Amino acid sequence: LSARGKAAIVGTAESDLGEVGPGFTPLDLIGQATERALDDAGLEKKDVDGLFSASAYYSMATVSAGEYLGIRPRYSDATNMGGSSFVSHLLHAAAALEAGLCEVALVTYASTQRSGGGFRGLSEPPNPYETPYGPRYPVSMYALAASRHMHEFGTTRAQLAEVAVAAREWANLNPKAFLRDDLTVEDVLASRMVSSPLSILDCCLVTDGGGALLVTSAERAKDLRKPPVYLLGAGEAHWHRNISQMPDLTVTAAADSGRWAYEMAGVGPEDVDVAMLYDAFTINPILFLEDLGFCEKGEGGTFVEGGRIAPKGELAVNTNGGGLSYNHPGMYGLLLLIEAVRQLRGECGERQVEGATVALAHGNGGVFSSQVTAVLGSANVL
Amino acid sequence: LEELKEEMSPAEAPALVYRRHLENGKLGYQRCADCSAAVFYPRVLCPVCGSGALEWRESAGRGTVYATTAVHSRNHDPRNVVLVDLDEGFRMMSRVEGVPAEEVEVGTRVRFEVRQGEEDEPVAVFVREGS
């Protein structure tokens, strides 16, 4: 069974981003994004019969979103595995479309964590094997992984900083980016330490924001407003939830999710024009570049040196500015899909990657816990 | 009849057995009787082979720092958080005491001790070997 090319993303939109101000709820932003995505696609709300969402606010995410939007779905999927959930929803939507369980799927998410007072963490009970030691969730867990990568492969803080600098340079080309000013490796190294070796500028933003994505069959997609962006392949994997259970802190389950996505898509890393790699922290893209085959294990730090993933570099990574400089509303996976779609439609203005036909969107959830990879393509690579 | 009683009575929760070990100054872990895997955190089935035959063991408490971070906060000295690989083949989160948080290094040999936690619960910590 293969879903290759059978489903297409036909509408995308962000809600208002950054800091939306007091009183707005995540559902208000979901409403904004949904209206804009429907307009982008040329679809009506009544066309939507599949609903996909995850939330740190609403324990029944699709039920709450369905009520607010006035959508009564016949297929509903509130899978929550952290920030990667929405890439997973895209795969699940393709399967549901293929099985005839729905015809038009809406994937949506939003958070108002910045206006609402900061990172909205977990509602899980304390873990007797981790909580007593006081790691700061989630940054300390990523810091542990970074410490191991540095020990095994000689990765440096300056190399981590290169990831943040590249993200900022892309953000400077994106009018919607939250942070748009100059940033140097020295700035990152000199910034306040949070959980060593990660300083505050190694960490993603805490912003409001959300988005919506409309997915339908390739056949139906042909008659809509924008050029369809096809799902070529996807894979999802998770091996652990808690960092103390991660088998090897230098290898993520992206090694599986990526392999499965490439196999389904019939492409490899050498075919990818734009790589959207979930950058919750600067160590993340380094591990994902390795696990997704853009370089060998251990070479991620060297790979990002010298502006290689920055504008005009060899590989276009996180062209919206990423979670580090564009926006990171708690869970970011939907926003990286939106950027991948826009690159393949050629809608990215100053930051457009010329002639992009294949984009990879990789979502991460938890503490390197869940990994979901999607490969998207324009019509001429079908 | 005794046998039947034993079968019917609920087993002690893995987390409570672990805690009882700590209260006695011991670091408990489990070993699978079927596949020999060392298992931590404690559970009711082996995550490697699926067997329910997990046996409690006492660790010798010697291990190596696998990963480390110093967690900074505004009003306190940084605190250390590590992952330690115990010689018996399991890994756990802990902290290394007796050295500034930033100076704990990956690869350091460490030895288990018990401390009282914030709510008076016993907590497994480590000190550097030889200290």
pLDDT digits (tens, 9 = 90+) for B21-45: 999 999 999 999 999 999 999 999 9
Task: Kindly report, residue by residue over A260-301, the tens digit of the pLDDT.
Answer: 999 999 999 999 999 999 999 999 999 999 999 999 999 999
Catalytic residues of A: 278, 326
Residue pairs between chains A and B whose CB atoms are closer than 8 Å: 76
Inter-chain residue contact B107 with A151, CB threshold 8 Å:
yes
Set of chain A residues whose Cβ sits within 8 Å of the Cβ of B118 = 132
Residue of A135, A193, A245 lying closest to B81 (CB–CB): A135
Measured between beta carbons, the chain A residues lying within 8 angstroms of B121 are 132
ipTM: 0.96
pLDDT mean across residues, chain A: 97
Give strand pairing partners of A81. A83
CB contact under 8 A, B15 and A192: no
The nearest CA of chain A is from the CA of B27 a distance in Å of: 12
A133–B contact, CB cutoff 8 A: yes
Interface-testing mutation among A127, A149, A193, A196, with chain B (most B C-beta atoms within 10 A): A196
- Yes or no, beta carbons of A132 and B79 under 8 Å apart: no
Question: Which of A214, A194, A190 has its CA nearest to residue A203?
Answer: A194
Q: Which helix (H) or strand (E) holds B7?
A: helix B2-8
Q: Whole-number mean pLDDT of chain B?
A: 93
Query: For A136, which of B40, B71, B118 is closest by C-beta distance?
Result: B71
pLDDT band at B130 (very low <50, low <70, confident <90, very high): confident
